[in-house]
């Protein structure tokens, strides 16, 4: 029996689940922003996904893996050792990761970013910056992994992308949010934070649930083929999610936003080590991520005065970085893990990713800001991105009275 068909099936399910996560990103954002920006959140997320696909198909994938699809179908079906067009569904699966980069950033820049400058940034990030680091870590490009291995005794281990995807996205958002500035009315003249209340908790929760469920495709299917599917990855994802949500419940004093984001923080943090840490380690990793998210969110908004609307810097950036490092701690055999990792490789690998992200974000968003401008006019921001950009509100029948 030919196993390629099964692997195509396996990755199709994974890709569909991570594709669904993009709907999750959209609804998490729809629920968190004000009503006048809901439509824009929806359109921006799906548009970013569209342009990301094009960017990764024509450029990004070959930057990372040196594979492209400019050959007749008959050859495409048999790239590599595989048949059944395995490499094409593999592309699809990895694209859904790449496209998560703008989806993550979206939650930070929402309610005030202009439409096309945002698209441009997404394209640059998905075509070049993300695949550069992705290739460094997952394709062994430029000898970085080999160097870590010879220097610190192991490669940098990031099974499903705590750092490659999440910390990358979260810290790219840092540059974007910094360049954009805070929403009008977010800070008083004397520097206190004004709360801007979310529009719709059920949509926020819906987004979180979709992300949670899809995440099992993100993590388990990161094995790449059905034969390698691992029950350990599944249970660890579960326990980290639970650790994150329960910790955020307590630290966030029952706030629904914290609870539902806490689950995601746990999942972000477990990606890197889900195939090597012990389930109790996964629970601990999740707990730290959940508490870290609650305090990180408040710290960033009050101390750093960064108006990161959904808290993507602490959620994806902070928890992702923690996940990369935590794999070096809880993955060791001393902690009941499977071993094969070293703390130093994890630390250096993670910080390298974070540095690239911060530098890349400042650069890309800074350049766009100075050349074409990043931000809606004050009037458009006041009116809301929905009417300003899309000429329609979230509930047209009710709002626009026909």
Partner 1 sequence: MKKVTAIIKPFKLDDVKDALLEIGITGMTVAEVRGHGRQKGHTELYRGAEYNVDFIPKTELSIVIPSDQVDAAVEAIRTAANTGKIGDGKIFISAIERVVRIRTGEENEEALS
Map the footprint of its own copies across residues 20-39, applying CB under 8 A. 20, 22-23, 26-27, 30, 34-35, 38-39
**Cα dihedral 104/145/15/114 (nearest 10):** 20
- Asked if 36 and 393 touch (Cβ cutoff 8 Å), the reply is yes
Quote the least distance from Cβ 90 to its own copies, whole Å. 7
Quote the least distance from Cβ 394 to partner 1, whole Å. 14
Which residues have C-beta within 8 Å of that of residue 209, sequence separation ≥ 6?
A: 24, 260
Q: Which does 314 bind (CB under 5 to 8 A by kind): partner 1, its own copies, none?
A: none
Q: Which of 230, 347, 359, 369 binds its own copies (CB under 8 A)?
A: 230
* Rg of the chain, C-alpha, whole Å: 20
Q: Which of 97, 216, 297, 365 binds its own copies (CB under 8 A)?
A: 216
What is the distance between the alpha carbons of residues 375 and 246, in angstroms, rounded to a whole number?
37
What's the length of the chain? 402
Quote the least distance from Cβ 334 to partner 1, whole Å. 37
Q: Classify residue 401 as exposed, middle or buried by CB count within 10 Å of its CB (0-12, 13-18, 19+).
A: exposed
394 binds its own copies (CB under 8 A): yes
251 binds its own copies (CB under 8 A): no
Binding footprint of its own copies, residue count (CB under 8 A): 121
What is the distance between the alpha carbons of residues 392 and 383, in angstroms, rounded to a whole number?
11
377 binds its own copies (CB under 8 A): no
6 binds its own copies (CB under 8 A): yes
What angle do helix axes 144-152 and 130-138 make, rounded to 10 degrees?
50
Which residue's CB is nearer to its own copies, number 47 or number 149?
A: 47
- Asked if 308 and 181 touch (Cβ cutoff 8 Å), the reply is no
Q: Which does 192 bind (CB under 5 to 8 A by kind): partner 1, its own copies, none?
A: partner 1
Which residue stretch of 138-146, 272-280, 295-303, 307-315 sits at the interface with its own copies (rule: CB under 8 A)? 272-280
Which residue's CB is nearer to partner 1, number 152 or number 297?
A: 297
What is the distance between the alpha carbons of residues 356 and 263, in angstroms, rounded to a whole number?
27
Quote the least distance from Cβ 402 to partner 1, whole Å. 4
Q: Which of 224, 255, 298, 343 binds its own copies (CB under 8 A)?
A: 255
Q: Which string of b and e fits 132-147 if b means at least 16 CB within 10 Å?
A: bbbbbbbeebeebbee
165 binds its own copies (CB under 8 A): no
Quote the least distance from Cβ 121 to its own copies, whole Å. 16
According to DSSP, residue 384 is labeled -
Look at residues 99, 122, 118 and name the one whose alpha carbon lies nearest to residue 109: 118
178 binds its own copies (CB under 8 A): no
The encoded tokens of residue 56 equal 């990764």
Look at residues 159, 272, 178, 208 and name the one whose alpha carbon lies nearest to residue 21: 208
Map the footprint of its own copies across residues 88-127, applying CB under 8 A: 88-92, 95, 115
- Asked if 346 and 324 touch (Cβ cutoff 8 Å), the reply is yes
Which residues contact partner 1 (rule: CB under 8 A)? Answer: 192-197, 252, 255, 257-258, 297-298, 301-302, 382, 391-392, 396, 400-402
Tell me how far apart the terminal alpha carbons of the chain are, to the nearest angstrom. Answer: 61
Which residue's CB is nearer to partner 1, number 261 or number 352?
A: 261
Which residue's CB is nearer to partner 1, number 257 or number 318?
A: 257
62 binds its own copies (CB under 8 A): no
Quote the least distance from Cβ 298 to partner 1, whole Å. 4
Map the footprint of its own copies across residues 324-343, applying CB under 8 A: 333, 336-338
What is the distance between the alpha carbons of residues 337 and 325, in angstroms, rounded to a whole number?
14
According to DSSP, residue 187 is labeled B
359 binds its own copies (CB under 8 A): no
Q: Which does 366 bind (CB under 5 to 8 A by kind): its own copies, partner 1, none?
A: none
Q: Which of 128, 209, 224, 343 binds its own copies (CB under 8 A)?
A: 209
């Amino acid at each position: 029996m030919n196993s390629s068909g099964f692997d195509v099936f396996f990755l199709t399910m994974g890709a569909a689940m991570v594709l669904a996560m993009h709907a999750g990103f959209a609804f998490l954002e729809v629920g968190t922003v004000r009503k006048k920006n809901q439509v824009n959140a929806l359109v921006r997320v799906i548009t970013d996904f569209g342009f990301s696909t094009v960017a990764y198909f024509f450029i990004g994938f070959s930057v990372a893996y040196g594979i492209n699809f400019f050959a007749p179908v008959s050859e495409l079906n048999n790239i590599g050792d595989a048949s059944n067009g395995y490499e094409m569904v593999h592309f699809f699966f990895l694209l859904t990761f790449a496209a998560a980069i703008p989806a993550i950033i979206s939650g930070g820049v929402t309610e005030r970013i202009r439409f096309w400058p945002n698209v441009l940034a997404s394209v640059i990030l998905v075509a070049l910056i993300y695949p550069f680091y992705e290739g460094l870590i997952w394709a062994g490009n430029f000898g970085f992994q080999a160097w870590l291995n010879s220097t610190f005794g192991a490669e940098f281990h990031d099974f499903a992308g705590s750092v490659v995807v999440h910390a990358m996205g979260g810290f790219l958002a840092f540059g974007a949010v910094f360049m954009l500035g805070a929403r009008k009315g977010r800070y008083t003249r004397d520097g206190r934070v004004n709360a801007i209340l979310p529009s719709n908790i059920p949509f926020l929760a819906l987004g979180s649930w979709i992300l949670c469920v899809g995440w099992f495709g993100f993590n388990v299917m990161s094995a790449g083929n059905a034969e390698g599917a691992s029950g350990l990855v599944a249970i660890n994802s579960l326990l980290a999610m639970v650790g994150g949500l329960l910790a955020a419940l307590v630290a966030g004093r029952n706030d629904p936003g914290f609870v539902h984001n806490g689950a995601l923080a746990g999942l972000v943090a477990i990606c890197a080590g889900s195939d090597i840490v012990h389930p109790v380690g996964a629970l601990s990793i999740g707990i730290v991520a959940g508490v870290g998210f609650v305090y990180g969110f408040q710290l960033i908004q009050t101390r750093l005065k960064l108006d990161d609307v959904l808290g993507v810097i602490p959620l994806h950036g902070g928890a992702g970085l923690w996940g990369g490092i935590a794999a070096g701690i809880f993955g060791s055999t001393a902690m009941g893990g499977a071993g094969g990792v070293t703390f130093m490789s994890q630390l250096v690998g993670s910080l390298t990713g974070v540095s690239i992200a911060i530098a890349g974000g400042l650069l890309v968003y800074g350049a766009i800001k100075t050349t074409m401008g990043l931000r809606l006019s004050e009037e458009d921001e006041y009116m809301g991105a929905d009417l300003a950009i899309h000429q329609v509100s979230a509930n047209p029948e009710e709002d626009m009275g026909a």
